[in-house]
């Protein structure tokens, strides 16, 4: 196994080793350039929905439709550190950005509605990041339900991939400790204050935010996860609902652009909230 070279400037030996433990074969040696990345030969859009392994990034969900589920694996995993944060009196943040393969994605708003178990407009009352059994940071959301378009939420929480937590909490996790065993940071090495994981551009959920949330019930855990990962969360900003993670070339973005007469963008969509809510009410 390759071993990252240790950087005195950033002191992130353990986190760099975690990249090597993700199951990919190649990695760029860690230097004081403030970022590392690894890119196997195949590139792809992202991670499967729900509780996905960041240790192998390869444990696919059960198919959410009758279509056959295919395997999934990581394409790119990158670690970046905001080295200028201390100069700006801000906490230093190590960001793990993860992309992988999908076994299925929605191609239209009607498919999102059809495949979702719950569709609701929510305000985030509380957001708590945690590490799942495979080592991925995820976030549990306590929602304040403002409007329901399909199904219902009876005291149930919602879940998304990605999140942010303190470095101390992250590195103390048993799964993470096993992943970085043998690559621990030397004594006195500076560490980041926060660690965040961004999965295929999906929003890092924060308290007080509003979302249109498409949720799918996972039969194995009984938890409601964002449907098709990043596709199932639309952040509400004023009178607009946006999904910044959508790629302009994917069918869902193209269908939404056509349905709502949107201006074509290189990435993401911004839909007038009233029009989207009307379309959801009509089913």
Mean pLDDT of the chain: 75
**Higher local confidence (pLDDT), 215 or 75:** 215
Q: What is the mean pLDDT of residues 76-81?
A: 61
Does position 237 have pLDDT exceeding 70, yes or no? yes
150-189 pLDDT, tens digit per residue, is 999 989 999 999 999 998 999 889 988 887 777 666 666 6
Give residue 109's pLDDT: 98
Residue 169 exposed, middle or buried by CB count within 10 Å (0-12, 13-18, 19+): middle
Does position 3 have pLDDT exceeding 90, yes or no? no
Give residue 94's pLDDT: 86
pTM comes to: 0.76
Task: Look up residue 83 and give its two tokens.
Answer: 């080295």
Cα angle 13-17-22, degrees, rounded to a multiple of 5: 155
Give residue 15's pLDDT: 57
Report the C-alpha gap between 211 and 121 in whole angstroms: 6
Does position 101 have pLDDT exceeding 60, yes or no? yes
240-270 pLDDT, tens digit per residue, is 999 999 999 999 999 999 999 999 888 999 9
Greatest CA span in the chain, whole angstroms? 60
Q: What is the mean pLDDT of residues 18-32?
A: 36
């Amino acid at each position: 196994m390759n071993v990252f070279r240790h950087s005195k400037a950033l002191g992130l030996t353990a986190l760099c080793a975690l990249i090597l433990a993700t199951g990919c074969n190649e990695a760029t040696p860690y230097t004081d350039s403030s970022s590392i990345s690894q890119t196997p030969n195949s590139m792809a859009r992202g991670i499967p929905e729900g509780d996905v392994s960041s240790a192998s990034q390869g444990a696919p969900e059960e198919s959410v439709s009758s279509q056959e589920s295919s395997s999934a694996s990581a394409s790119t995993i990158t670690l970046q550190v905001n080295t200028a944060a201390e100069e700006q009196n801000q906490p230093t943040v190590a960001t793990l950005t993860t992309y992988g393969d999908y076994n299925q994605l929605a191609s239209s708003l009607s498919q999102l509605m059809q495949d979702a178990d719950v569709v609701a407009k929510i305000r985030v009352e509380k957001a708590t990041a945690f590490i799942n059994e495979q080592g991925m940071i995820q976030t549990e959301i306590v929602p304040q339900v403002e409007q329901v378009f399909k199904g219902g939420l009876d005291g149930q929480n919602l879940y998304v991939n990605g999140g942010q937590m303190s470095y101390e909490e992250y590195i103390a996790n048993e799964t993470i400790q096993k992943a970085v065993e043998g690559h621990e940071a030397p004594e006195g090495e500076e560490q980041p204050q926060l660690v965040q994981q961004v999965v295929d551009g999906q929003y890092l959920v924060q308290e007080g935010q509003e979302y249109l949330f498409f949720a799918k019930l996972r039969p194995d855990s009984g938890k409601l996860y964002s449907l098709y990962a990043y596709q199932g969360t639309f952040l509400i900003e004023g009178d607009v609902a946006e999904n910044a993670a959508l790629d302009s070339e994917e069918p869902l973005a193209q269908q939404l652009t056509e349905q709502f007469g949107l201006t074509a963008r290189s990435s993401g969509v911004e839909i007038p909230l009233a029009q989207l809510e009307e379309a959801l009410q009509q089913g």
